[in-house]
Structure 1
Amino acid sequence: MKTIAIIGSCDTKYREVKFMKEQIEAEGISALVIDVATGPSPSCNYDVSRAEVVENAGKTWEELEPRTKGEKIGFMMEAAACYVEKLYKEGKIDGILSAGGLQNTVMATNAMKKLPIGFPKVMATTVACGKKTFDLVVGDKDIVVIPSICDFTGLNMVTKQIMANACACCVGMVKHAGKVLQKGKKPVVGVTLMGITNTGACAAVDELERLGVEVIGFHSTGVGGSIMEQMAADGLIDGILDLTVHEITSEYFKDKIGRSGFSYGEDAKYRLVKSVENKVPLVVSTGGLDFVDFAVNEFPPRMEERVYMLHNATMAHIKILPDEAEEVAKRMTDRLQKIDYPVKLLLPTEGMRHNTREGEELYYKEVDDTILRAMRENGNGNIEIITVPGNLDTKEWGIQAAHYMIDELRERGVIGDEIQY
């Protein structure tokens, strides 16, 4: 019989975990309730006690109990993750589920993030509301998030329906899907894109697929790029065509003015890091490095000096300024300096996104020249610098980028002469 793990604080949420266990077992699936309570009250309705979770992490509950609330929560977060990972590796669970507020969400999703993409993970949470971002909840994993609508303070018509839906969601995945990602026989390439590089990137995707390569696109806003790099580090991706590195610009604004723009995610710090550490075949460019995206009511300083265009009614794309281009380019080249194996760097001559050619809304030659000059002067002999005429966001440019990716895969021994363009 298949088993779904339920993570819950069984001192305060004992009614909720009992309800979810009953819902799951009614569907012919076994349920394993794991207690992660850290409060002073006794727990009930669990299958795995908090003491067992703590002992698996090398301590006893008696050692942990006198600590502060924050210390206990911090330890239990890691202990629960360790215990869940152990259950997964032993083949004892087929899905994982939880429901709760902030503390339980952090506990449960920290454990869920230890499990591979494709493994069923469902979190019903109070955190999924308002302007809160999903970084805290999902990180770089495929956690299904269900808004709780109200707080989990016992069983009522709302909480019962939300939890029933969450249980049905997890049961459905366990019964009918829930397979961990596995590579097939084709070489796999990750390609980064966003709307402003979509034409060029999709042309590259089409060309790579025509040549027999499986391609996965990743949106360079938030966590897309870092998820791609983690998948490459995990051996699920054979090469990266990193056409769009826009997160680096958003990261700069977050550090500089305390506001990051729409496309920022905390995992931006991993861009051009994990893939490089694992020496993944890489062809990189500068797509999206030249602009930042802000809501029209949250514009950055110095707007009187800037050129910009509306992306929609609430969001604007703003060309960065020459001095900002110097600092953004330095962030990029600092990462390039750490590359210790052969990679290709493609530089466009007529813009790093759409609307940036002469006469268009975001044309600013000094900014583009500043970035391109820094790339050319990066000084790392492992980087082959290739000038590709035209604008990055064109079909012709994307096809050429795909061909350079094929060259890189062949030079690194990932593919042989069977793929010819």
Structure 2
Amino acid sequence: MVEVVPPTADEKPLIVASMFGNTTQCVSAAKHILEKAGYEVLVFHSTGMGGRIMESLIESGLVSGVLDVTTTEWADELVGGILGSGPTRLEAAGKAGIPAVVAPGCLDMVNFGEPATVPAKFAGRLFYQHNPQVTLMRTNAEENAELGRILAEKVNAYTAPATLLLPLRGVSVISAEGGSFYQPDSDHALFEAVRHHARPGLPVLEVDTTINDTAFSEAAAEALLKNIAASKQAP
């Protein structure tokens, strides 16, 4: 990602997308749709550094659209995980005036290393051992309410057409029904905060599926294509 070469004028217009392991299916399907529409899609992994590099590329003005469906780095930034991207994450699209679609992908999880690295203050919380080196902690309702506020207020500042997309049946693979992080009350707090803090006129599209359902990927890609088209028509 550090060695990304910006597209030249004769290349396809560029869209950037954010992805994590728990949103791979979502982003892959949306990427296919956007590529069929004539775009090149560059995917960044939401690992802290990935988010920062993506933001830098957006700020360069060389990007035609932003599919920021995996905003999990904000969970780490807020709660104290190891994959935060800093307090300016989600601001580049607004500053550069780039059409965008934003979703709360993987805001159900905070990332730590092996179990011994988890701070003692989190004792008693719900954890998922992804592998021996990666420990995930479920965000609770209070944290999700704050994350929803942050997400909405960041996107409120966007000047180009933007849409907030909410996957009502789960923001990751493991927060869907039957998953280790299935916790509807916490997700409800997240969605309610987004609805409450989104400015009037900012589209908040609710999709009654999990984030990795094909219908959600289609909704995300279609919303971004619509926003890009609207941006081109703006005076």
Tell me the TM-score normalised to structure 1 length.
0.52
Equivalent residues in 2 for 1:260-339, closer than 5 Å = 260-261=81-82, 263-265=83-85, 268-295=86-113, 296-300=115-119, 301-304=121-124, 306-339=125-158
Task: Give the superposed CA RMSD.
Answer: 2.1
Q: Which has the higher contact order (CA 8 A, sep 6+)?
A: 2
Instruction: Name stretches of at least 5 consecutive residues in structure 2 with no aligned partner.
Output: none
Q: Contact conserved, 1:341 with 1:382, CA < 8 A, in 2?
A: no
Report the 3-state secondary structure (helix = DSSP H, G, I; strand = E; otherwise coil) of the residue aligned with 2:204. strand
Structure 1 residues 329 and 232, CA gap change in structure 2 (3 angstroms):
same
Q: Is the 8 A contact 1:340 1:382 kept in 2?
A: no
Q: Distance between the aligned counterparts of 1:180 and 1:334, measured in 2?
A: 29
Quickly say closer, same or farther: Cα 1:327–1:379, change in 2 above 3 A: closer
Larger of the two Rg values belongs to structure: 1
Question: For 1:226, which of 37, 47, 52 is the aligned residue?
Answer: 52
Q: C-alpha displacement at 1:345, in angstroms?
A: 0.7
Q: Please give the alpha-carbon distance, in whole angstroms, between the structure 1 residues aligned to 2:59 and 2:122.
A: 40
Quote how far apart the aligned CAs of 1:201 are. 0.8
Judge conservation of contact 1:230–1:275 (CA < 8 Å) in 2. no
The answer to whether the aligner puts 1:391 opposite 2:210 as a matched pair is yes
State the shift of 1:278 in Å: 1.4
Give TM-score, length-normalised by structure 2. Answer: 0.89
8 Å CA contact retained: 1:282, 1:344: yes
Q: Deviations over 1:69-94 (max 9, x none)?
A: xxxxxxxxxxxxxxxxxxxxxxxxxx
Match of 1:82 in 2: none
Could you tell me how far 1:393 is from its partner in structure 2?
A: 2.0
Give the letter for the 1:208 counterpart.
L
**Aligned residues of 2:12 and 2:38 also touching (Cα < 8 A):** yes
- Partner of 1:245 in structure 2? 71
* Alpha-carbon shift at residue 232 of structure 1 (Å): 2.1
Identity over aligned pairs, percent: 26
Deviation for aligned residue 1:294: 1.2
The number of residue pairs the alignment matches comes to 231
**Which residue of 43, 64, 85 maps to 1:217?**
43
Secondary structure in 2 matching 1:346: strand
Q: Hey, what does 1:207 align to over in structure 2?
A: 33
User: Is residue 20 of structure 2 the alignment partner of residue 194 of structure 1?
Assistant: yes
Change (3 A) 1:407 1:180: closer
User: Aligned AA for 1:207?
Assistant: I
1:351, distance to aligned residue in structure 2 (A): 0.6
Q: Is the 8 A contact 2:17 2:41 kept in 1?
A: yes
Amino acid at match of 1:406: L
Give the drift of 1:230. Answer: 2.0
- Helix, strand or coil for the counterpart of 1:311? strand
Letter in 2 for 1:272: L
Instruction: Give the superposition deviation at 1:238.
Output: 0.5
Task: Give the deviation of 1:303 after TM superposition.
Answer: 3.1
Contact kept? 2:146, 2:190, Cα under 8 Å: no
Unmatched runs of 5 consecutive residues or more in structure 1: 1-139, 144-178, 255-259, 415-421
> Per-residue CA shift, 1:384-411, capped at 9, x if unaligned?
1111120102333212211111111111
Please give the alpha-carbon distance, in whole angstroms, between the structure 2 residues aligned to 1:346 and 1:185: 29
